[in-house]
Amino acid sequence: MGTGNQTWVREFILLGLSRDRDTQAALFVLFLIMYLVTVLGNFLIVLLIRLDSRLHTPMYFFLTNLSLVDVSYATSIVPQMLVHFLAEHKVIPYVSCAAQLFFSLSFGGIEFVLLTVMAYDRYVAVCNPLRYSVIMHAGLCKKLAVISWVSGSVNSLMHTTITFQLPMCTNKFIDHISCEILAVIRLACVDISSNEVTIMVSSIVLLMTPFCLVLLSYIKIISAILKIRSTEGRKKAFQTCASHLTVVALCYGMAICTYIQPRSSPSVLQEKLISLFYAILTPMLNPMIYSLRNKEVKGAWQKLLGQLSGLRSKLAS
């Protein structure tokens, strides 16, 4: 990429969260447990939806996609981070760094679009319940899922390509837990204003636009719920949206603060904590939220546990 202060970079060094070996060991154990809970919880949700015919509805079809995205997002970051907690030299090859950036950005973008699709599903369920099955037919659900996956992947491919065409300085230390886009572009030897503008524009398209559509959906949903005369009817209508609304509240706020204005973004420590939130905490909490706040999912859990208990009794006898 040139001479002088510009060079080909074959590898990066991730500084991570701490340089203290005892702290790193403690974090390794903590994050390993959280990652295993994340994988197990999300795959159990997918398995439950697959096995229980009562959950073969559009809402749970999108929830299956959300669980797969959560596991994939966590897997794009956490295993590498766990390895680095134990490694003496926290090196990540250039190609691996680019791949990590691509996949983490992809799954993050897919999740935001998918949450918007789920908000539309809840809007139809509450505001147009008699035509719900007609509107949210299988063909439309599959198309909306494909749009979510394709839009997130295309956006990520664009950013990854632009980012890794930048000439990197001889300083190859990334002060982050992963190859996060803002951390990587800070290593560039050239003006990165155009990259920051691109990040802001794509954030408006893939983050703010979905967020506004979610808000619009819930304004209409709340308006429709308030018109329901029965207290029980209002409670039931709200329960159909409560889990999704909780996940939306968890996902959007910090991402907007981080990516809408890169120049005035949070400190490096805050960026690391936000990345941990999306890589570990949110994917781990999502299955719990949908399990604990959703009567249908809880009923399916009870049915599955009952079947397993009965099977165990038969095998024991």
Residue 13, SS3?
Answer: strand
Q: Are 67 and 284 contacting, i.e. CB atoms less than 8 angstroms apart?
A: no
Half-sphere exposure of 228 (CA within 13 A, CB side): 19
Instruction: Specify the pairing of strand 173-174 against strand 11-14.
Output: parallel
Q: Are 84 and 21 contacting, i.e. CB atoms less than 8 angstroms apart?
A: no
How much is the pLDDT for 124? 92
Q: What is the pTM of this model?
A: 0.85
Report the alpha-carbon angle 262-263-267, nearest 5.
85
Listing DSSP states for 149-183 in one string gives HHHHHHHHHHHHHHHTTSPBPS--EE-SSS--HHH
Mean pLDDT, contiguous 10-residue spans, the chain (317 residues): 52 85 91 94 89 86 94 94 88 92 93 92 89 93 96 94 83 86 86 83 83 88 82 71 75 68 62 83 83 69 69 67
In the 8-state DSSP scheme, what is residue 92? E
Structural domains of the chain sorted by starting position, each given as residue range(s) with its CATH number in brackets: 11-305 (1.20.1070.10)
How much is the pLDDT for 218? 86
Residues facing 173 on adjacent strands: 13
* Sign, Cα dihedral of 25, 31, 35, 41: positive
How much is the pLDDT for 2? 43
Q: What share of the chain is helix, strand, coil (3-state, %, to 5)?
A: 80, 5, 20
Residue 17, SS3?
Answer: coil
Q: Which residues contact 195 (CB under 8 A, 6 or more apart)?
A: 162, 163, 166, 185, 188
Q: Are 198 and 162 contacting, i.e. CB atoms less than 8 angstroms apart?
A: yes
How much is the pLDDT for 3? 43
CA 51 to CA 294: how far, in whole Å? Answer: 17
CA 115 to CA 246: how far, in whole Å? Answer: 11
Residues facing 174 on adjacent strands: 14
Helices of type H across 52-131:
58-86, 94-127
How much is the pLDDT for 110? 94
Tokens of 316: 């024991």
Listing DSSP states for 219-266 in one string gives HHHHHHHHT---HHHHHHHHHHHHHHHHHHHHHHHHHHHHHS-GGGPP
